[in-house]
Structure 1
Amino acid sequence: MASGYGLQGGPSRCFPFWQEVLACYVVNTSAEDDSGKKKCAPVLEDYYECLHHKKEAARVRALQAAYRKAEASSARENAPSAGQIRNLGLLDKEEDTKQVLGG
């Protein structure tokens, strides 16, 4: 990001956010007074999100957790029976199952 150029030679994906940060600093601060930097916190946060995607990753993790929880709580429509699991879906293998179970 130091040069502002991306992998294909154009501007990097976060360069517009960096320009907004610089513009905010130029407008809200001066050489003597740095108190205006507080006004630039949301813009700086957007720039950091563009660089690191922490909020996006947290949102994806939350969505995946909710999806897994919903999947675990709902019953499956086409759940295999115990016999199908033992026979691995093979036809006419009840005798093999009886031999394995010792019956």
Structure 2
Amino acid sequence: MASGFGLNGGPSRCYAFWQELLGCYVVNGGEGVEGKKKCIPALEDYTECLHHTKEVVRAKKIQAAYRKAEAGFARENEPKAEELRNLGLLGKEEDTRKVLGS
């Protein structure tokens, strides 16, 4: 965003948000601190466009909920650790057939 130009020579992806923020500061700048407080939503939109922080947090929450839901369903007939250790060993063919289901 330093130059204001995007990768293909046009305006950057956040240029519209920057213009909105600048317009807010121009309109409300004479009011001092109270005027700048009116521009907080525009500033949040601009920083979200640049950094995607809210989007990342939302995605992480969805992933955590999915993992929690997935962990809640126990697999039926899940092989035990000792059965998996015996896979392919001589003399343990019965365990191998039991785990592989063949």
TM-score by length of 2: 0.74
Give the C-alpha shift of residue 84 in structure 1.
7.7
- 1:42 maps to 2:62: no
Q: Once the 2 structures are TM-superposed, how far is the Cα of residue 69 of structure 1 from its aligned partner?
A: 0.3
Hey, what's the Cα distance between the residues in 1 that align with 2:9 and 2:95? 68
Counterpart secondary structure, 2:39:
helix
The question of whether the paired residues in 2 share the 8 Å contact of 1:20 and 1:43 is answered with yes
RMSD between aligned residues? 2.6
Residue in 1 that maps onto 2:64: 65
- Which one-letter code corresponds to 2:44 in the other structure? E
**DSSP 3-state at the match of 1:29:** helix
Does the residue aligned with 2:40 lie in a helix, a strand or coil? helix
**In structure 2, what residue type is equivalent to 1:53?**
H
Equivalent position of 1:27 in the other structure: 27
Change in CA separation of 1:58 and 1:44 when aligned onto 2, cut-off 3 Å = same
Counterpart contact for 1:87–1:94, Cα < 8 Å: no
* Aligned-partner Cα distance in 1 for 2:72–2:95: 35
Partner of 2:54: 55
Q: Give the unaligned 5+ runs of structure 2.
A: 98-102
Structure 1 residue 8 and structure 2 residue 2: aligned? no
Structure 1 unaligned segments of length 5 or more: list them: 98-103
Provide closer, same or farther for how the CA distance between residues 96 and 25 of structure 1 changes in structure 2, counting only shifts above 3 A. Answer: closer
Q: What TM-score do the two structures reach when normalised by structure 1?
A: 0.73
Q: Runs ≥4 in structure 1, deviation > 3 angstroms?
A: 79-88
